[in-house]
Amino acid sequence: MKTLLAISDPDLIQMFFQNPAVLKKLGTVSEYHWIKEMTPLSGSAGLAAVVEDYDAVLTSWGSPFFTDEVLAKASKLKFIGHLAGSATAIVNEQAFAKDMVVVTANNVLARSTAESAVALMMSAAWSLQPYSMRMKRGGWANNSKETVLGLTGRTIGLIGYGEISRNVIGLLRGFPVQIKLASRYCSEEEARELGVQLCSLDELLTTSEIISLHSSLTPSTVGMIGRRELSLIQDGALFVNTARARIVDEESLMNELRTGRFSAALDVFHQEPVPVNHELHEMEHVLCTPHIGGFAGQCKRAFGDYIIDQLIACIRGEEPDGNVTLEQFNRMTSNALA
């Protein structure tokens, strides 16, 4: 068996494979080569030039796309393992018409993004940024009259149901909170098992004190949270977005944030990097982080080991838990839209 490592970014290679045991494990089941050593060509042209010799290909951010030409030449290919989240960055629907398995590290990445979402909830609900800025300017807190939103006793609304929101629910179990969920992909039985209440998007927006967005970015969700939806958010609430910026109408969100009616914690933006002169930087009630939701070190460094375990499972004839079906693929964040 032969595996092609179609990852060229030296920083990603160092992160995923810095533990020698990871590639050693791969070597026990497959001969492997780095794409940069096999062809001088880059991008999909380079992948097309060599893919016919390989049974498996591992990819990540910046890897070449599996165009129709690449897939036509991939006569032996049975496994594509993507060391990242959404498979839309490397394949289209044509890949699922072939006799191969597409696996991503989304299950691992989701743990990191969920942790960051809860961290943003905590930081913003406790007004850590405004208090830190006040203290650095020589100020202090007023114990006699100031309080923070906090999490205790709050209703937290999650928009979208997938690996990330499932992990968020798990992380919030230690807090005395009520969790509402708006998603057509979660059944009443699943909701009961998770201990959450299914509701409409409108009900979630009007009754939740903390709202966290976890929908995928697809053609149907672009601008899903618009002027009307944002107007339903109650005064003093907190809006958290670790999903994708384009799910929210930018102008409508900025208009609401200018009023100071509710606060926000944002990890994703319509323009990244955010310009240094953007008015978000001046809003103390808006916590901004530079798209770091997937940055948890233990999770990110585990991508290589996880995908190789998925490959080994396939070789043994087992079902990999990171397997992507066509239905799941069509619900994933679209790389073209992002």
The band of 338, judged by pLDDT with boundaries at 50, 70 and 90, is confident
Of the pLDDT bands very low, low, confident and very high (cuts 50, 70, 90), residue 25 is: very high
In a domain, 175, yes or no: yes
336: in domain: no
- Residue 167 shares a structural domain with residue 276: yes
In a domain, 293, yes or no: no
The reply to whether 156 and 263 lie within a common domain is yes
Query: What average pLDDT does this structure show over 86-113?
Result: 96
Confidence of residue 337 (pLDDT cuts 50, 70, 90): confident
How confident is the model over 86-90, as a mean pLDDT? 96
- Same domain membership, residue 306 and residue 160: no
Listing DSSP states for 140-184 in one string gives ---TTT-----STT-EEEEES-SHHHHHHHHHHTTS--EEEEE-T
- Report the run of H or E that residue 128 belongs to, with start and end: helix 128-136
Q: What is the mean pLDDT of residues 198-226?
A: 97
Q: What percent of the chain is predicted at pLDDT more than 90? A: 99
Please check whether residues 36 and 101 belong to one and the same domain.
yes
142 located within any domain: yes
In this structure, are 176 and 69 located in the same domain?
no
Going by C-alpha positions, the residue among 255, 259, 159, 260 that lies closest to residue 216 is: 159
Q: What are the tens digits of pLDDT across the range 229-248? A: 999 999 999 999 999 999 99
User: What pLDDT is recorded for position 336?
Assistant: 80
Q: Is the peptide bond before 320 cis (omega within 30 degrees of 0)?
A: no
Please give the helix or strand (H or E) that residue 266 lies within, else none. strand 263-266
Q: Are residues 117 and 254 in the same domain?
A: yes
159 shares its domain with 279: yes
Same domain as 165, residue 56? no
Tens digit of pLDDT for each residue in 267-277?
Answer: 999 999 999 99
- Angle among Cα 228, 231, 235 to the nearest 5 degrees reads 165
CATH number of the domain that 100 lies in? 3.40.50.720
Residue 337 is assigned to a structural domain of this protein: no
Q: Is 72:50 a contact under the CB 8 Å cutoff?
A: no
Shared domain for 256 and 310, answered yes or no, is: no
Mean pLDDT over residues 243-271, rounded? 98
Tally of domains in the chain:
2
Same domain, 211 and 185: yes
Which structural domain, as residue segments, surrounds residue 76? 2-105+302-331
Give the SS3 label for residue 20: helix
The secondary structure of residue 242, as a DSSP letter, is: -
Is 297 contained in some domain? no
Residue 321 lies in a domain: yes
Q: Is residue 294 part of a domain?
A: no
Same domain, yes or no: 125 and 249: yes
Please tell me the predicted confidence (pLDDT) of residue 250: 97
Q: Using the predicted structure, report yes or no on whether residue 175 has a pLDDT greater than 90.
A: yes
For residues 274-299, average pLDDT: 96
Shared-domain flag, residues 280 and 137: yes
